[in-house]
């Protein structure tokens, strides 16, 4: 009998089927096949978006840590950045309106642009999160009437999406709409207008604004409510003809790992809309779990939430199980982990790196997938008489080196792939 959360199904054949290609690569030099030559093929990137929030690295990206004597902080940040970049290729940056523009008309654009560029320069896709949300929204919206709030929301989206186009072309446009108009923990401008407009007109308004500002952007609807309520919302949005590019599913697991069966059930329900699925906010703990009776995770605030050896062993297993489960399902295109280091949201021990900067077993476990089992290290092959080499590799970008020259190829679709490079 399999352990809870550990299916008896071997996921490797599915992962291989959906995530790898069998490449036949013809190497030529000046148009002539290079036969019987040594060729080195090395994977450079994954097509799958292995994501993480990049909030912690914004000061480093802005050089904020090198202007004073805080050498140790800078070194720590650089070490963390190296660990981050060794695992991930997809960064989420914070655009919470209340933090981004605490004073109306003074947005934090430059600092965020430098951070986004820093990640882009290092080969990462960057996502902004979120453009509309009732939580952490700008407090000054409450001074406006509803028509003005709506106009300001639209303007804000046009501004950010335009300002960041080319560096950030992926956005969580709107967050947690299922609860948005009935959110009752405190008054805020976004709940007010969502209640007046209705959910679908609200979504249409913000998506129209984002689409107009950057027609090439990938625009997500994102929610923590994975019940039938989100399905109903999605079906209404699609019925209304609003184009959603990907569905965001939050997946904070402070109350315990879902296990494979539940995870597969959720993917099954949301995959049937034919849209790519992004797991947008995943947390799996390496300490004690939050009690199951907490409904709003924000209600659990404790002074110290330690990581433990047993918790770290469990977390490493669960991380492996979760990533393997997601990659076995072709609809899932991205997975964003909610913080590399401990002590982020709610102070939970949800990172892959402890507060002291040392990596947990989960870091090694994930690394051994992303840069191990699912990665082609530099591999020397010899071409056949027609100049061909053959290899199986995970979808992504590869460097091909021979006769002192280098070229790049991409594996974009699973299954047989015929490629050619002329060196």
The 162-181 contact track toward its own copies, x by CB under 8 A, reads ----------------xx-x
Q: Name the residue nearer to its own copies (CB basis): 98 or 201.
A: 201
Nearest to 320 by CA among 285, 369, 287: 369
Q: Which of residues 213-272 bind its own copies (CB under 8 A)?
A: 225, 227-233, 235-237, 239-240, 269, 272
Which residue, 240 or 406, has its beta carbon nearer to its own copies?
A: 240
Q: In angstroms, what is the minimal distance from the CB of 250 to its own copies?
A: 15
CB of 265 to its own copies, least distance (A): 9
Query: Please, which residue, 181 or 311, has the CB nearer to its own copies?
Result: 181
Nearer to its own copies, 2 or 229 (CB): 229
Nearest alpha carbon to residue 235 among 122, 383, 244, 340: 244
Least distance from its own copies to the Cβ atom of residue 237, Å: 7
Task: Assess contact for 6 and 321: CB atoms under 8 A.
Answer: yes
Cβ distance to its own copies smaller for residue 272 or 405: 272
Shortest distance in whole angstroms from residue 232 CB to its own copies? 4
Q: The tokens of 397 are what?
A: 């970008």
The nearest distance, CB 193 to its own copies, in angstroms, is: 14
Question: Given the complex with its own copies, which of 235 and 299 has the nearer CB atom?
Answer: 235
Nearest to 283 by CA among 379, 351, 197: 351
**Rg from Cα positions in the chain:** 23
**Minimum separation from the CB atom of position 20 to its own copies (A):** 31
Provide the minimum distance between the beta carbon of 11 and its own copies in the complex, in angstroms, as a whole number: 23
Q: Tell me the two tokens of residue 335.
A: 């997975």
- Which among 11, 1, 51, 52 has a CA at the least distance from the CA of 260? 11
Per DSSP, 172 falls in state E
- Looking at beta carbons only, is 241 or 404 nearer to its own copies? 241
Q: Which two tokens stand for residue 220?
A: 């997500």
Contact set for its own copies, span 272-311 (CB under 8 A):
272
With respect to its own copies, which residue has the nearer C-beta, 179 or 369? 179
Residue 114 or residue 269: which is nearer to its own copies going by CB? 269
Gap between the Cα atoms of 193 and 202, Å rounded: 8
Residue 245 and residue 220: Cα distance in Å, rounded?
6
Residue-by-residue DSSP string for 200-268: HHHHHHHHHHHHHH-TT-EEEEEES--SHHHHHHHHHHHHTT---SEEEEEEEETT---HHHHHHHHHH
Closest approach of its own copies to the CB of residue 148, in Å: 21
Half-sphere exposure in the Cβ direction for 256 (13 Å, CA):
10
Tokens of 285: 């703990």
Q: Residues binding its own copies: what is the number (CB under 8 A)?
A: 24
Q: What binding mask, one character per residue, do residues 339-358 give for its own copies by CB under 8 A, x or -?
A: --------------------
Give the shortest CB-292-to-its own copies separation in angstroms: 12
Cα atoms in the Cβ-side hemisphere of radius 13 Å centred on 99: 13
Contact 58, 93 (CB under 8 A): yes
Contact mark string toward its own copies, 178..217, x via CB under 8 A: xx-xx------------x--xxxx----------------
Alpha carbon 344 to chain centroid, angstroms: 16
Instruction: Return the structure tokens found at 415.
Output: 């299954």
Give the interface with its own copies as residue ranges (CB under 8 A): 178-179, 181-182, 195, 198-201, 225, 227-233, 235-237, 239-240, 269, 272
């Amino acid at each position: 009998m399999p352990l809870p959360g550990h299916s008896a199904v071997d996921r490797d054949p599915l992962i291989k089927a959906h995530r790898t290609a069998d490449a036949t690569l013809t190497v030529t030099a000046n148009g002539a096949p290079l036969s019987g030559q040594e060729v080195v093929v090395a994977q450079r990137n994954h097509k799958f978006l292995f994501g993480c929030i990049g909030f912690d690295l914004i000061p480093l990206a802005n050089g904020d840590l090198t202007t004073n004597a805080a050498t140790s902080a800078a070194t720590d940040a650089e070490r963390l950045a190296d660990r981050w970049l060794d695992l991930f290729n997809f960064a989420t940056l914070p655009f919470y309106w209340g933090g981004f523009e605490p004073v109306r008309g003074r947005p934090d654009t430059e600092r965020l642009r430098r951070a986004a560029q820093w990640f882009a320069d290092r080969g990462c896709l960057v996502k902004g999160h979120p453009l509309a949300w009732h939580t952490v929204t700008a407090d000054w919206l409450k001074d406006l009437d509803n028509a003005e709030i709506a106009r300001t929301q639209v303007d804000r989206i046009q501004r950010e999406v335009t300002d960041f186009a080319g560096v950030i072309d992926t956005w969580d446009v709107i967050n947690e709409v299922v609860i948005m108009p009935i959110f009752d923990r405190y008054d805020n401008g976004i709940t007010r207008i969502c209640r007046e407009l209705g959910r679908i007109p609200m979504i249409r308004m913000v998506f129209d604004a984002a689409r107009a500002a950057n027609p090439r952007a990938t625009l997500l609807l994102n929610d923590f409510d994975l019940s039938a309520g989100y399905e109903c919302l999605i079906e209404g949005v699609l019925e209304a003809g609003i184009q959603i590019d990907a569905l965001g599913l939050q997946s904070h697991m402070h109350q315990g790992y879902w296990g494979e069966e539940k995870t597969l059930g959720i993917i099954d329900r949301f995959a049937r809309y034919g849209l790519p699925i992004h797991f947008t906010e995943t947390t799996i703990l390496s300490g004690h779990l939050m009690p199951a009776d907490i409904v709003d995770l924000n209600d659990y605030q404790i002074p110290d939430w330690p990581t433990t050896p047993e918790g770290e062993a469990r977390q490493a297993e669960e991380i492996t199980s979760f990533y393997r489960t997601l990659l076995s399902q072709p609809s899932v295109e991205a997975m964003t982990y909610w913080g590399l280091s401990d002590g982020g949201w709610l102070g939970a021990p949800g990172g892959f790196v402890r507060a002291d900067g040392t990596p947990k077993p989960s870091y090694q476990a994930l690394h051994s997938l992303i840069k191990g089992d699912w990665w082609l290290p530099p591999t020397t092959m010899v071409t056949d008489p027609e100049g061909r080499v053959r290899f199986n590799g995970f979808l992504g970008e590869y460097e091909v080196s021979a006769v002192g020259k280098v070229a790049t190829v991409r594996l974009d679709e699973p299954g047989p792939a015929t490629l050619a490079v002329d060196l």
